Structure 1
Amino acid sequence: MKLQFTIEGGNFSNAGHAASEIKKMLKQLGIEARCIRNIVIAMYEAEVNVVAHAFEGQILVDIETDKITTEIIDKGPGIPDIELAMQEGYSTASKKVREMGFGAGMGLPNIKKNTDEFYIESTVNSGTTLKMINYF
């Protein structure tokens, strides 16, 4: 099953929509609750990152019998130093984003922690692509 969602940069009221929809589908498929939790946490963090840092993004989801593969592709400023961005607590979030309760610098580390496989590529002034795989 292949699904696609669009993320609007700056629209925090819609952040988490894709994660919520995927959670419902995985429950209907009878996937283990702990596995669903990990997938939803990673997806939510990725959605919030796009909303907070990029102009727009796409989430591509491929649900197979033994795994879910999620790609998040955004158009935005990119990440100049991925190694630094992967450190817990490091954040480039604006003051406005932090005042809303986001931007604590835990997004990328939480995504990695909650996925079985995690890949990230980024080009400055172009965007970032995340690929997450969780096995059932």
Structure 2
Amino acid sequence: MTQAITFHYTVPGDDFTRAGEASSSIKKALKQIGLAPDIIRKVAIAVYEGEINMVIHAHGGEITVDISSDEIRMILTDTGPGIPDVDLAMREGWSTAPDDVRSLGFGAGMGLPNMKNYTDEMIVESTVGVGTTVKMRVFIKS
């Protein structure tokens, strides 16, 4: 790949019927580019988990994915309530999802941990009352 490719998605908030559209779209694009299945899987899972978090907690947001020859960068940004304690939110099983969301099968507290586990780098920047930005990278090994 000689030139970087950028994808941008708007995630609608509170709409579980559309949740997953961005991650499905990026998965399809990565397959068309011909990336290895393990890279595609990592990126798809990380983006999906972030996308679901935006739907549940932030009333939507924006996802930008930049693909170059050596890495895939994902930036997920929202203007939701922010995360008061990022370290606590990174613990597997910790969730602030309401009961109605849990009854749909979401909100198990694995979103941020899975995002971290399926990426090579992840930075969470969050300010209560302002929103959250998650920056992730998956390296493409030749």
Same fold per superposition (TM over 0.5): yes
What is the CA-CA distance between 1:35 and the residue it aligns to? Answer: 1.1
Amino acid at match of 2:10: T
Q: Which runs of 4+ in 1 moved over 4 A?
A: none
Query: Structure 1 residue 23 and structure 2 residue 21: aligned?
Result: no
Give the unaligned 5+ runs of structure 2. none
| Aligned residue number for residue 84 of structure 1 | 88
Q: Distance in 2 between matches of 1:55 and 1:104?
A: 18
RMSD of aligned residue pairs (Cα, Å): 0.7
Mind listing any 5+ residue stretches in structure 1 that lack a counterpart? none
Task: Give deviations 1:40-71, integer Å, cap 9, x for gaps.
Answer: 00000000000000122000111111111010
TM-score (norm 1): 0.98
What TM-score do the two structures reach when normalised by structure 2?
A: 0.94
Taking the aligned partners of 1:124 and 1:11, their CA distance within structure 2 comes to 23
The residue aligned with 2:120 is 116
Alpha-carbon deviations, 1:3-24, whole Å to 9, x = none? 1100111011111111111111
Partner of 2:48: 44
Give secondary structure in 2 for the equivalent of 1:12: coil
* Other-structure match for 2:133: 129
Of 4, 9, 12, the residue aligned with 1:8 is: 12
How far residue 29 of structure 1 moved from its aligned partner, in angstroms, is: 1.1
2-side partners of 1:106 and 1:120: how far apart? Answer: 15
